[in-house]
Amino acid sequence: MTQSPRRDTIAAIATAPGRGGVGVVRISGTGLAELGLTLAGKPLKPRHAHYADFRSSDGELIDQGLALFFPGPHSFTGEDVLELQGHGGPVVMQMLLRRCLELGARLAEPGEFTRRAFLNDKLDLAQAESVADLIDAGSEAAARSALRSLAGAFSGEIHTLVEQLINLRMLVEATLDFPEEDIDFLEAADARGKLASLHGQLQKVFGTARQGSLLREGMHVVLIGQPNVGKSSLMNALAGEDVAIVTDIAGTTRDTVRELIQLDGVPMHIIDTAGLRQTDDTVEQIGIARTWAAVEKADLALLLIDSREGITEHDRDILGRLPERLPRVHVFNKVDLTGEAVGHAEEDGHAVLRLSAKAGLGLDELKRTLLDMVGWGGTDAGVFLARERHLDAIRRAASHLETAALVWQQVELFAEELRLAQNALASITGEFSADDLLGEIFSRFCIGK
Ligand code: GDP
Ligand code: ZN
């Protein structure tokens, strides 16, 4: 990446809004030694904590706290960075920030510190994204995985693949100069074997990244079925508290209710829906329309069935309307009333569970089935937090490699597919990223990051 031009000085409150023991104002730019001297009233030794009085332009005391100076390029952003730690009240922080603006800084945009770190080659794009993911992590497993990405585990895997891809490209492009012998040459160099090995490694990285993406995005599990089969009861049993209203009056859940739970550290959005039945009640009809909307976005559907009734004509209607791509589990509820054994089975190519939401029977089986069905490997060890953008890039790279394997005898096409595969992979670490992609990624950060 080319060295970036000198940038203006930016400042923001880096700590969360509200009251806290300590609050931090962060400043990044050039010539911050002087700004530090003015603000703290004394020269700041690099990477030392100085206890200082922060004063306004007319010498009035704003706060007393610590000032830290990190001269570029050995700082988070690669520029001069100044951190002012004061008392974490919103008014004090605002006054301190305003003072920095008076001294020539401007207010930072969301994610601008991290963006500068990226532009100054302190982090690649996947690492920069993991900064935001670490802050947003919804579980310990997600936090550990984000940290792994931040430390470069994911980028490292991608770099290894890109390097091998470059070697293969050099091989293929070298033969373009000798059209008579190209195919023999490629065979002798085992170009196809190398291609297959790359594809295999890519699949492995995809698997790990997909686990990471599960930790980040969570799964959307929708509960559907006729009124009164026990959807809300199951939702409550999974969530461990009464989040949905349970009654024996059919049609009680008229809207979709969502609950975020953690299974094994994997976030699951459980969506309880209105019972699906023919109705003239307008409110209930709206609830039913929302149910279908939730189904459209779900990753997994649990169709609840009353064990005493078995699958009815009506259930078959519902099943027929589910999108083909949507994995589903048939859950026979209320086995406490029929005396059937709880458990898990495979019938006609889909999972079948027997349980009782009300009596709390068979819930562990259900949880295990959910985790299996979303492809959770059972542990976050070695998993790095990935985003849908990364998965998409890996998928594109894999599909170019697959095409490459088909056209390898047409060396020019072969070379072109390899080039496209490399571009797709490189977009993960941001080597060839368009400005609008960067804008989109960094604008989702919080201010001060
Ligand atoms: P929904 O309309 O599908 O959401 O069903 P609810 O969860 O509101 O439950 C309807 C009725 O069935 C309530 O009276 C529940 O207490 C009852 N129920 C739900 N699950 C079970 C179960 O496993 N066993 C028994 N005996 N009753 C259940
Ligand atoms: Zn309900």
Can you tell me the ipTM of this complex? 0.98
C-beta of 228 in contact with ligand 1 (< 6 A):
yes
Backbone angles phi, psi at 333, to 5 degrees: -95, 170
Strands (E), 241-376: 257-263, 266-272, 300-306, 328-333, 343-347, 350-354
Q: 366: CA distance to ligand 1 center in Å?
A: 17
Name the maximum alpha-carbon separation found in the chain: 82
State how far the Cα of 19 lies from the Cα of 300, in Å rounded to an integer.
41
C-beta of 236 in contact with ligand 1 (< 6 A):
no
What is the reported pLDDT for 180? Answer: 66
Closest residue (by CA) to atom 24 of ligand 1? 334
Using an 8 Å Cβ cutoff, are 255 and 235 in contact? Answer: no
State how far the Cα of 77 lies from the Cα of 1, in Å rounded to an integer.
15
Q: Is the pTM of this model over 0.95?
A: no
Q: 306: CA distance to ligand 1 center in Å?
A: 9
Task: Give the mutation target among 223, 226, 228, 354 for probing the ligand 1 site: most ligand atoms within 8 A of CB.
Answer: 228
Q: What is the pLDDT of residues 342-374, one digit of tens each?
A: 988 888 778 899 999 999 999 999 998 988 887
Binned at pLDDT 50, 70 and 90, residue 269 comes out as confident
What is the reported pLDDT for 92? Answer: 92
Closest residue (by CA) to atom 18 of ligand 1? 230
What is the reported pLDDT for 242? Answer: 58
Closest residue (by CA) to atom 17 of ligand 1? 230
Q: Is the pLDDT confidence value at 219 over 90?
A: no
Q: Is 151 helix (H, G, I), strand (E, B) or coil?
A: coil
Q: 233: CA distance to ligand 1 center in Å?
A: 6
Q: Which of 149-158, 220-229, 250-259, 319-328 has the lowest mean pLDDT?
A: 250-259
Closest residue (by CA) to atom 14 of ligand 1? 248
What is the reported pLDDT for 282? Answer: 81
Q: Is the pLDDT confidence value at 422 over 90?
A: yes
Q: What is the pLDDT of residues 33-72, one digit of tens each?
A: 999 999 999 999 999 999 999 999 999 999 999 999 999 9
What is the reported pLDDT for 247? Answer: 63
Q: Is the pLDDT confidence value at 1 over 50?
A: no
Q: 225: CA distance to ligand 2 center in Å?
A: 9
Q: 423: CA distance to ligand 2 center in Å?
A: 49
Q: What is the pLDDT of residues 153-174, one digit of tens each?
A: 999 999 999 999 999 998 888 8
Binned at pLDDT 50, 70 and 90, residue 2 comes out as very low
Atom of ligand 1 at shortest range from CA of 304? 3
Using an 8 Å Cβ cutoff, are 343 and 362 in contact? Answer: yes
What is the reported pLDDT for 444? Answer: 81
Binned at pLDDT 50, 70 and 90, residue 385 comes out as confident
What is the reported pLDDT for 437? Answer: 75
Helix (H) or strand (E) holding 51: strand 49-55
C-beta of 253 in contact with ligand 1 (< 6 A):
yes
Q: Is the pLDDT confidence value at 448 over 90?
A: no
- Mean pLDDT, rounded, of the chain: 88
Q: Is the pLDDT confidence value at 3 over 60?
A: no
Q: 375: CA distance to ligand 2 center in Å?
A: 28
- Report which DSSP code applies to 44: P
C-beta of 356 in contact with ligand 1 (< 6 A):
yes
Using an 8 Å Cβ cutoff, are 428 and 390 in contact? Answer: yes
State how far the Cα of 93 lies from the Cα of 244, in Å rounded to an integer.
41
What is the reported pLDDT for 373? Answer: 82
**Sign of CA pseudo-dihedral 209, 211, 215, 220:** positive
Atom of ligand 1 at shortest range from CA of 272? 4
Atom of ligand 1 at shortest range from CA of 333? 23
Using an 8 Å Cβ cutoff, are 334 and 230 in contact? Answer: yes
What is the reported pLDDT for 333? Answer: 97
What is the reported pLDDT for 6? Answer: 63
274 annotated as ligand-binding? yes
Using an 8 Å Cβ cutoff, are 369 and 330 in contact? Answer: no
Cα 404 from chain centroid? 30
Cα 340 from chain centroid? 41
State how far the Cα of 363 lies from the Cα of 344, in Å rounded to an integer.
11
Closest residue (by CA) to atom 11 of ligand 1? 248
Nearest Cα to 162, choosing from 427, 432, 399, 422? 422
Closest residue (by CA) to atom 8 of ligand 1? 246
State how far the Cα of 100 lies from the Cα of 309, in Å rounded to an integer.
71
